[in-house]
Amino acid sequence: MSTARPQAPPPPAPKPGRVKVYRALYDFQARSDQELTLSEGDLMYVSDEQPNKDWFEASIGGKKGLVPANYVISENVEELPNPLHEAARRGNLDMLNECLRERVSVNSLDKSGATPLYWAAHGGHVAAVDALLKDSKVAVSVQNKLGDTPLHAAAYKGHAECVRLLLAAAANPFVRNQDQKLPIDVTKDADVAALLDKAMKENRVNEAEYAEYLEDSDAD
């Protein structure tokens, strides 16, 4: 498929912004050292902050270069919604790490209001949880539209190692969901319950909340 090519400008200085991910549907052959060559199926990472309207700075397989804007904004590509969420949900560590390297937002929300960390914890993907927690920008206790945090998800599914990692990263065990349930309230796993109970006891900042939890437990 032919694509009109404006004269390539000098490579723009990189700027932080939301990174979108596209899959190339057609080949594109670079004609200068500044341009990227794409093959059908390649994943292309493009920031939504572009200083030049004719050329987009993109990254493919770790290589950065320019792609004509009219290649990206056309039927030549398919935008992938929430690629980091999908990688986390499937435990696809290669894709997850690539997204993180390319600065796909670690705290982006999907339609359910969940972060990638939520889905990694929900699936019990320990390596994915660990990789996400190592990102300095990760928010550990984000609630989805139901009020559940990644800790709720890991606790509910009985993923003890994920719970351990989340607690070590300062996940808050006192967050209540829309049903007023703490993570410890939604688990049926004895090991998970023990981990959460220990964390709640040791969290002196929330002594009042722990006392309230004990009172509610006694009432039950």
Q: Is 2 left (phi over 0), alpha (psi -120 to 50) or beta?
A: beta
The CA-to-CA distance between both ends of the chain, in Å, stands at 68
The whole-chain average pLDDT of the chain stands at 87
Please write the tens of the pLDDT for every residue from 48-101. 777 778 888 889 888 989 998 888 888 888 988 899 999 999 999 999 999 999
Torsion of the alpha carbons at 109, 110, 112 and 118, rounded to the nearest 10: -60
So what's the pLDDT on residue 5? 45
Task: Return the pLDDT at 12.
Answer: 41
- Regarding pTM above 0.75, the answer is yes
DSSP secondary structure string, 112-165?
TS--HHHHHHHHT-HHHHHHHHTSTT--TT---TTS--HHHHHHHHT-HHHHHH
**Residue 15 amino acid letter:** K
Domains of the chain with CATH codes: 19-80 (2.30.30.40), 83-219 (1.25.40.20)
- pLDDT exceeds 60 at position 13: no
Q: What is the pLDDT of residues 133-149, one digit of tens each?
A: 999 999 999 999 999 99
d(CA 116, CA 54): 32
Q: What is the model's pLDDT at position 18?
A: 83
CB 15 within 8 A of CB 7: no
Taking only the tens place, the pLDDT of each residue in 188-211 is 999 999 999 999 998 865 656 666
- b/e string for 106-137 if b means 16 or more Cβ within 10 A? bebbbeeebbbbbbbbbbbbbebbbbbbeeee
Where does residue 99 fall: left (phi above 0), alpha (psi -120 to 50 degrees), or beta otherwise?
alpha
